[in-house]
Structures are given as C-alpha cells and as structure tokens.
Amino acid sequence: MKKMNTSCKILALLTSAALFISSAAARIVTDETGHTAEVPDSLNRILITNIYPLPSVLTLYLNSADKIIGIHPSSMAAAQNGLLSEIYPDITKANTGFMKGNVLNIESVLKLKPDVVLVNAADKQSLSKLEAAGIPTVAFSTSAQKYDAVKTYKSWVKTLDELFPDHAKADKASKYAENVKALIEERTKSIAPQNRKKVLWIYQNQNNKVTTSGKNFFGQYWAEAVGAKNVSESIPAKTANAQVNMEQIYSWNPDVILITNFTPDTAENLIKNPLWAPISAVKNKEVYKLPLGFYRTYTPSADSPVLLYWLAKKIYPEQFKDIDLNNEARKYYREVFGIELTNEQLKKLFEPKPMKISTPTPGAA
C-alpha cells in the first residue's frame, strides 16, 4: 500500500477535527474584534497561539492549567521563569511545538484536537489557517485599546467571561484595576508638568543600542498612568521598533530608567556600565528591573494592577510611602483569583532573577 501523501493526511486530520468539534453542543462567542465563533459548550482542550501574555491570564482566571494543551514557546519561557509554573505546574505540560515565531503548523494543531484556539488578532495568517480547518478561533488584541494595558487586560477578561461563564471574573477584575488606577491618578494629578519624572524604558538592549517605547507602545501608557513623562514619546515608531543610541539618551537625561523582562539587563549591570554613568537616573541609582509575575509585567497581563502600584512607588516614593507592595499584591491575587502568595513568591515577583530571553516578535508582546 502506498504511503498517504501530505495533502491526504491533512484532509484526514481536518475531517477528524470537524467531527471532534461538531460532536459537542455549541454556542456563539463574540470576541473583542467583533469576530464570532461557534464554540463547544464545554471547553476542555484550549490552545493559545502567539498572544504571549494570555496563558497567564487564562490560567489565573480558571485557577488551573489542566485545560491548556498548547502555548507559544515564548509564553512557556516566561512561565518557567516567573510565578506561573510554580503556582500552576501543569502549564509546563502544554505543547509548544505547533508554532515557531509567527508560523503556525496547522497539521500539528489538528493533531492536538483543540476545542478552541485563542489567537493573536493581528496574526491574520494563523486566523485564516485555523478557520479554513474548521477550528473555532477567538481573537485577542494587544493594540485594540491603543496600548492601554489596563483596558486591554479588562477586555481580555470580558472575552474570557463569554468563553467560560461559570468562572466569570470580569466585573471583579475590572473594578479592582480601576480602583488602583483611580488612587494613583488622585495622588499624582497635582504634580506640575515640569516636576513630573522623566522615564526611559529599556525594552531591549543589544550592545547599547536600546529599543525603547515610543508613543505607540505600552511604555507610553504606563508612564502616563502614574503621572510620569516618557522621554521617548516623540518617537512615532510603533511597538518595539523604536531604537535609539546613547547620544539620544544623554540628551534626554532621564530621572528614572525602567528595564523590562524582554532583555537580560539588570539594574546592577547598567549602573556599573561607564557608558551610562553621566545619566541622572544612574547617578541617583533610580534604575529598576520590572517585576516578573505570572508574565512579563510590561505587557497587559493579570499582573497589571500590581505593576501600577510598583511603578507609582518607584517613581514617586513620597506620594506612595504608605503603600506596602507585598500587602497590595497579596490582597489582589487573593481577592480576584483566590490564590495566596507566600513571602518567597512575593520576593520572586519583585526581585526577579535574570532569565534566558526568548524574544517575541515585535508587537506580539
């Protein structure tokens, strides 16, 4: 008997997948892009493509990782280095071989027999492949809310409420995030424009060629949300394409430098680097590595309310001297997601160790 060729294999898998999906009762879900999908009433096999922070949000939302059958390799790298794999070790069992970069292997996806695939709204190629295969897809966007991280987080949780109505958390999560945001706005609104701290984001750094955040990326939102000024807000480049040299950074002379978990740089090695010595933030040792929570906190995630507190306290310590970060983080994760973090886990959150970087595609976060 001749071996089945690739086309026949894929056709067989498509037929199998269609039968698998149609065997369950279904309902209509509308995602944040307005796209509708017919999904099974019971979702027990969930695959997440290149919307990298989403596995952390979903796992906390469900208080379990046992239904997540596949995540992107970059999501896995963050899970293994942050709190996600420690609190929910089942996440490490998720398959990561179905996608490389932004290239989705539809045959590998079909073999996993997902009930639904949660996909990056900007990745039209993967969306087309999945829909052509008859697999229910629900899209999530990092940019639909104009890089407002808290609005994005709230939008994602609202869509998750549609997918998992028995676990509804959107109201609770949104209210908590809005309360934190309102508190910070109230305490920083009276800071005169000339007294607002100037912050530089280091998204990535290779040989002192720094990729920062222009106006169209998350750094702009975070700076504005805590009453600070993003020194690179005049850069029009979108997402992670805003690369600057040291001469430009010298001219900006930021008061605070914030280092994401998309680079192995630490505050210590930056402060010790003589190239950075002339900068005010370095002279005053106001250089900080962002927390590494259930995902890299620079992007929208379930950690976003905690990052708001952290940024406010680091940038304006006097205005927020009464805020105990450990207490606020413990309270947030307990009240919204029902988990209790230990002192060791809180230390890991706020004092992350350098991690091996698996750099996501710019804009996918």
Count the neighbouring beta carbons within 10 Å of the beta carbon of residue 21. 20
Instruction: Please say if the pLDDT value at position 357 is more than 90.
Output: no
Lowest mean pLDDT of 100-104, 204-208, 220-224, name the range: 204-208
Nearest to 309 by CA among 126, 175, 183, 163: 183
For the chain, which domains are there? 9-168 (3.40.50.1980), 174-350 (3.40.50.1980)
Average pLDDT over residues 169-186: 96
Please give the residue that has the higher pLDDT: either 171 or 26. Answer: 171
Lowest mean pLDDT of 136-140, 175-179, 203-207, 282-286, name the range: 203-207
For residue 100, the model assigns a pLDDT of 94
Q: Output the CA torsion 7→12→13→15 (10° steps).
A: 120
Q: If pLDDT is split at 50, 70 and 90, which confidence band does 26 have?
A: confident
How far is residue 126's CA from residue 51's CA, in Å, rounded to a whole number?
Answer: 12
C-alpha 282: how far from its chain's center? 28
For residue 355, the model assigns a pLDDT of 67
Q: If pLDDT is split at 50, 70 and 90, which confidence band does 21 have?
A: very low
How far is residue 104's CA from residue 245's CA, in Å, rounded to a whole number?
Answer: 35
Nearest to 136 by CA among 112, 124, 120, 119: 119
Model confidence pLDDT, tens digit, residues 339-350: 999 999 999 999
For residue 168, the model assigns a pLDDT of 94
Average pLDDT over residues 202-213: 91
Give the CA angle between residues 200, 239, 62 to the nearest 5°: 100
- Give the strand order in the sheet containing 198-202: 229-230, 198-202, 256-259, 287-289
Average pLDDT over residues 199-212: 92
Q: Which residues pair with 26 in a beta bridge?
A: 40
For residue 14, the model assigns a pLDDT of 47
Count the neighbouring beta carbons within 10 Å of the beta carbon of residue 319. 18
For residue 325, the model assigns a pLDDT of 98
Percent of the chain residues past pLDDT 70, beyond the cut: 90
Contacts 24+ apart (CB under 8 A), 162-166: 162/29, 162/30, 162/31, 163/29, 163/39, 163/43, 163/116, 163/138, 164/43, 164/61, 164/62
For residue 241, the model assigns a pLDDT of 86
Q: If pLDDT is split at 50, 70 and 90, which confidence band does 209 have?
A: confident
Dihedral sign (CA 207, 211, 212, 214): positive
What is the overall mean pLDDT for the chain? 91
Average pLDDT over residues 303-321: 97
For residue 66, the model assigns a pLDDT of 96
Dihedral sign (CA 100, 103, 109, 111): negative
Residues 6+ apart with CB under 8 A from 4: 12
Average pLDDT over residues 285-290: 98
Nearest to 303 by CA among 96, 87, 10, 136: 87
Contact 141, 50 (CB under 8 A): no
For residue 362, the model assigns a pLDDT of 43
Residues 6+ apart with CB under 8 A from 126: 49, 50, 99, 102, 104, 119, 120
Instruction: Please say if the pLDDT value at position 247 is more than 60.
Output: yes
Percent of the chain residues past pLDDT 90, beyond the cut: 85
Contact 169, 62 (CB under 8 A): no
- List the structure tokens of 340: 């209790």
Q: If pLDDT is split at 50, 70 and 90, which confidence band does 238 have?
A: confident
Q: Cite the DSSP H helix spans in the chain.
A: 6-22, 54-62, 73-81, 84-87, 106-112, 124-132, 149-163, 170-188, 218-225, 246-252, 267-272, 280-283, 304-315, 325-337, 343-350
Instruction: Please say if the pLDDT value at position 354 is more than 90.
Output: no
Average pLDDT over residues 191-200: 97
Instruction: Please say if the pLDDT value at position 359 is more than 70.
Output: no
